[in-house]
Amino acid sequence: MTTALSRTVCLFDGWLHRGDFTRSSLAIYRIVFGVLLLVLELTDRQWLANYPDSFYRPRPGPFELFSGFPPEPILISLEIVIALSAAAIVLGVRTLFASLTFTITAIVANGFVFSAGKIEHDILLLLTPAFLGLAGWGDRFSFDAHRRAAQGVTAPQHAEHWPLRLFALIIAWSLFTAAYAKILGGWLNTNTQATHNALIRQIYADNVYGDFSAWVAQHHVPWLWEIADWSTVLLEASLLFAVFSWRACRYTLSVLTLFHLGVMAILMISFQGNVIVYGSFVLWHIMPGARRIGEIITRYRPPVVPGLTQRTAETGSVIGIGMLAWFIHEKVPTPEWAAQVVIVIGSLIATGYLLHTMRHLNTRRSMLASPTPPPSNQRAAQSDF
C-alpha cells in the first residue's frame, strides 16, 4: 500500500516537473508579453475617485474590507507601479520581483475597478507574470541574466516546470468554470440556442455589432446554433483533460485561440487577454525569427553616465520606459482595433502550429509505412515538438 502510494507520488512529481520549455523560450515570451502590457493593458483607473461610495459594491473577498474607492493619489500610484513593473518585465530588471509586483498590484487595482459593478475576468493575464517569473522567464535575454553572467552564474537551460503546470491547471480550471456554468444554465438544452441569444443580446440590447455579426444573426438555423453551443461547452471543458500532456495542452490552446477569433468576429467580444496568456505555452525558441526579439533586448545597454552604477542606469531605463508608457496612456487611449490585431496574430500562430503538427503527423505516418528513414530536415521537424 505504502509502495503504491509512494510510486503514485513519484509519478505525480515526475509529471509536475516534466516539459520541453526552455528559459530562452520563456524569455522571448516575457518581452512580447511586457510590450503588450505596456501597449494594451495600462488602463485608466483614476475615474473611480470621482464616484461616490454608494457605487462601491465589492464582490465577496478582501475588497469587502474597504468601504469605498481609494482617493486619486492612490489610484495614480497603483497605475505607476503597474507601468514600472511592466517596463522592468520587458527589460528583465529584477524580473521575479517585478513580475510578482505586477501581479499583486494589478489584482488590487482591478479589484477596486471591479467593485464598481463588473468583473472583467482578466485574472489569467494578471497571474501570468507571477507563474512565468517563478518558471525563470527572467533568466535569459535580460539585464538580470547579463549581470549574473558577468558574475559567472548561469541558470540551467530548461525552465522550472512546476509553475507552468500549476498555471496550466489554473487556466484549465478557469475555463472549466465557464463550461460548467453553461451546462447548469442550460446551454446543452436543445430547445435553447444560447450562442444565438448572446448574439441577439449584443446586437439589439447592447448595440454592439458589425456587419458580419448582423448578417450571421439573421440566420436562425437552430441545429447549427446548437452545434455552436455544444462546441463552446466542450472546448471550454476540454483543457481540463488536455492539461495532463503539454502537447495536448498546446493543441487545445491553439483551437481555443481560433475560438476567440470566432467570438470576436461574430459576437464582437475581444478576449485578447486570454490569447496573450495562451502564448506562454508556445515554444518561442523554435519559432522562426523569434530569437531576434530576445537578441534586441540583449543588445540594449543603458547609456553609460559617469558616476552612475550599472544598477542605477538599469533602474533609470525602467523608470523612463514605464513613465513614458503611462504618460502616453494618459493622453492617448489604446484603440479598440489593437486588441483585435492581437487576436488575429495569435490565431495565425495557432494555425501555423496546428498545420505544422498535421505535417508532422503525416511525416510520421509515412515513416511507419516506409522502411527507409525520412530526410534529415523532416527529422528535425519531428524533434521540435
Partner 1 sequence: MSYKQPLNNPRHIVVARSAIVGLGVLIAVQTATQFTQREPYPAMFQPSFSGDALPIEHRDSLQAHVTVETNTGESFNFSPHMLLADATIEPARVFDAGTRSNNAHTIDPRSTEFILSRVASLTPGVPNAVTIVWTERHFNHSGEKIDEVEVRRVALPVDEAKP
Window 7-46: residues binding partner 1 (CB under 8 A): 13-14, 16-20, 43-45
Least Cβ distance, residue 203 to partner 1 (angstroms):
6
d(CA 132, CA 102): 12
What is the size of the binding site for partner 1 (CB under 8 A)? 81
Cell 500549476 locates to 166
Which is nearest to 190 in space by CA: 228, 217, 216? 228
**Residue 289 φ then ψ, to 5°:** 85, -15
Q: What part of residues 169-198 is at the interface with partner 1 (CB under 8 A)?
A: 169-170, 173-175, 177-178, 180-182, 184-187, 189, 191-198
Does 60 help bind partner 1 (rule: CB under 8 A)? yes
Of 81, 82, 84, 113, the residue at the interface with partner 1 (CB under 8 A) is 113
Does 162 help bind partner 1 (rule: CB under 8 A)? yes
Does 3 help bind partner 1 (rule: CB under 8 A)? no
Residue 293: Cβ within 10 Å count: 19
Least Cβ distance, residue 181 to partner 1 (angstroms):
3
Does 248 help bind partner 1 (rule: CB under 8 A)? no
Which CB, 58 or 210, lies closer to partner 1?
58
Which CB, 115 or 315, lies closer to partner 1?
115
Least Cβ distance, residue 285 to partner 1 (angstroms):
12
**Residue 310 φ then ψ, to 5°:** -60, -45
At a CB cut-off of 8 Å and minimum separation 6, what does 352 contact? Answer: none
Of 6, 8, 201, 301, the residue at the interface with partner 1 (CB under 8 A) is 201
Options 27-35, 159-167, 296-304, 308-316: segment touching partner 1 (CB under 8 A): 159-167
Least Cβ distance, residue 320 to partner 1 (angstroms):
26
Which CB, 82 or 318, lies closer to partner 1?
82
d(CA 359, CA 366): 11
Q: Are 166 and 29 in contact (CB under 8 A)?
A: no
d(CA 40, CA 84): 14
**22 beta partners:** 158
| Helix or strand (DSSP H, E) at 151 | none
Which CB, 22 or 142, lies closer to partner 1?
22
Backbone CA torsion sign across 248, 254, 260, 262: negative
Q: What part of residues 114-133 is at the interface with partner 1 (CB under 8 A)?
A: 114-121, 123-124
Least Cβ distance, residue 237 to partner 1 (angstroms):
12
Options 87-95, 212-220, 314-322, 351-359: segment touching partner 1 (CB under 8 A): 212-220
Phi-psi region of 302 (alpha: psi -120 to 50; beta: other; left: phi over 0): beta
